[in-house]
């Protein structure tokens, strides 16, 4: 099995709305030379600034990971980064004509499809792995958060979530090998609780949101009047609550789809280390802040 760096054969684009900004635009993947890494280019800004997908460039982790340099930012990068890492693509230039990655259905599926359509090219240089030689961990006891990476021959991950709610308690998701990513993890969509959705709507924070790009969990009793209001807001004829406490806007692909999506986020956020990992990650209650802080710890350990 080859361990050479890879880029894509042809450029390919994905169009859509940014979840939080509501901006409508286009993301275009371009082939890049070996050693280039993953970079974003804001072609809508003067001078078309380029932002490396680097953990040192993280400027926000609220409901998504944001990177920025000298005022130029790219929001919600984790799903597209997970797609690239999941397909073993090392080098690509990503043009973006708005400040946020298109949300699509809230998963990495459409980015994976586009990249598969573009095809991949093996390059001459060897992949530059982060090889974990001893356990590296981080804990936040008051939040019951723990994340660790241990030595292993290849990347794998176990993610455990627990929102301590009847509709969403403890769930686990396991990725045994990155070859399974496109089918087992990439399609898994983001999720939100109804009270969070209401907060986001009231604060004008999901201008590009609709009921097709998130699983909505209902963790309290809801009147038909409230459901009708949601239907109106999202241009749906009618919404109702399923027996499992999920809005009927969509069907779950997997019983543990929320945990699988959190695993997707871990992969996307750790991609900001700039190199693929040979190691086994175990994460309890991860989030974007946890993931990116853990990536900084890994980077510091590697320097030492």
Residues classed as catalytic: 288
Query: How many Å apart are CA 228 and CA 163, to the nearest integer?
Result: 27
Q: Could you tell me which residues are beta bridge partners of residue 8?
A: 120
C-beta of residue 151 within 8 angstroms of C-beta of residue 133: yes
- For residue 13, give the 3-state DSSP assignment: strand
| Listed residue (16, 15, 40) closest to 95, CA to CA | 40
What whole-number distance in Å separates Cα of residue 237 and Cα of residue 101?
28
Cβ–Cβ under 8 Å, residues 171 and 160 = yes
Q: What is the CB neighbour count within 10 angstroms for residue 177?
A: 10
Query: Measuring CA to CA, which residue among 251, 252, 291 is closest to residue 81?
Result: 291
């Amino acid at each position: 099995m080859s361990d050479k760096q890879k880029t894509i054969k042809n450029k390919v684009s994905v169009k859509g709305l940014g979840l939080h900004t509501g901006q409508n635009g286009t993301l275009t993947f371009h082939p890049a030379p070996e050693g280039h890494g993953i970079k974003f280019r804001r072609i809508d800004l003067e001078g078309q600034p380029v932002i490396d997908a680097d953990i040192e460039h993280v400027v926000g982790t609220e409901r998504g990971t944001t990177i920025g340099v000298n005022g130029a930012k790219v929001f919600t990068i984790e799903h597209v980064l997970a797609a690239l890492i999941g397909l073993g693509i090392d080098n690509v230039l990503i043009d973006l004509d708005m400040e946020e990655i298109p949300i699509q259905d809230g998963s990495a599926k459409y980015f994976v499809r586009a990249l598969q359509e573009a095809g991949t090219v093996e390059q001459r240089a060897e992949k530059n792995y982060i090889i974990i030689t001893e356990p590296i961990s981080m804990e936040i006891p008051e939040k019951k958060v723990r994340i660790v990476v241990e030595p292993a021959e290849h990347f794998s991950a176990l993610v455990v979530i627990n929102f301590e709610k009847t509709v969403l308690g403890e769930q686990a998701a396991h990725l045994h090998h990155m070859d399974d990513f496109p089918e087992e993890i990439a399609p898994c969509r983001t999720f939100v609780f109804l009270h969070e959705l209401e907060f986001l709507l009231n604060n004008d924070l999901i201008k590009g949101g609709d009921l097709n790009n998130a699983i909505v969990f209902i963790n309290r009793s809801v009147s038909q009047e409230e459901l009708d209001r949601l239907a109106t807001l999202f241009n749906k004829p009618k919404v109702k609550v399923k027996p499992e406490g999920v809005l009927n806007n969509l069907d779950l692909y997997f019983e543990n789809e929320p945990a699988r999506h959190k695993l997707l986020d871990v992969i996307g956020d750790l991609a900001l280390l700039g190199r693929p990992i040979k190691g086994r990650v175990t994460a309890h209650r991860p989030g974007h802040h946890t993931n990116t802080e853990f990536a900084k710890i890994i980077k510091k350990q590697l320097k030492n």
